[in-house]
Amino acid sequence: MSLDVPADLLARAEAGPVDDADFVAVVRDSLPYAWEVISSVATSVDASGFADNEIPPPSETERGQLLRALASDAIRGGLERHFGVKLAFQNCHRVAAFTPSAVDGDRYRAFISPRGQLLNQSPELRDC
């Protein structure tokens, strides 16, 4: 299980929609490393509309948090709405944030391209 959902929030979810603030709080509390990396990247976006993190996680536990956060459409979407950015992801740890105005710009297209993925490979990342 990737999220530690409080019983009262689970009951509300069973009864109907929940708001983003409650959902994002669960993500923040359940995936603290992923939250730290993503919030750091999102709040570091520069004038070009871009920021990224290239530092590998310290352990597989932290790597797993990033994978869970960015592989889930709901979690990723909640984080993007919360921070007002578009997230992009490579190699089990490289997280980038783009402002909405930078999405579909040259840097964004290069980052999400097959070429960008291939150029960002290294032997130590092949098991991630």
pLDDT along the chain (128 residues), means of 10: 89 95 97 97 94 91 93 96 95 88 91 80 60
Rounded to an integer, what distance in angstroms lies between the CA atom of residue 34 and that of residue 32? 6
- Give the range of the structural domain holding residue 46, as residue numbers without chain letter: 32-120
Asked if residue 21 belongs to a domain, the reply is: no
Report the domain count for the chain: 1
Asked if residue 113 belongs to a domain, the reply is: yes
Rounded to an integer, what distance in angstroms lies between the CA atom of residue 32 and that of residue 29? 6
What local confidence, expressed as pLDDT, does residue 54 receive?
A: 87
Asked if residue 10 belongs to a domain, the reply is: no
**DSSP state string for 56-75:** PPSSHHHHHHHHHHHH-HHH
Asked if residue 14 belongs to a domain, the reply is: no
Asked if residue 8 belongs to a domain, the reply is: no
Asked if residue 17 belongs to a domain, the reply is: no
Q: Between 60-71 and 73-83, two packed helices, what is the crossing angle to 10 degrees?
A: 80
Asked if residue 2 belongs to a domain, the reply is: no
What residues have CB less than 8 Å from 25, skipping those under 6 apart? none
- pTM score of the predicted model: 0.88
Asked if residue 23 belongs to a domain, the reply is: no
Rounded to an integer, what distance in angstroms lies between the CA atom of residue 6 and that of residue 29? 11
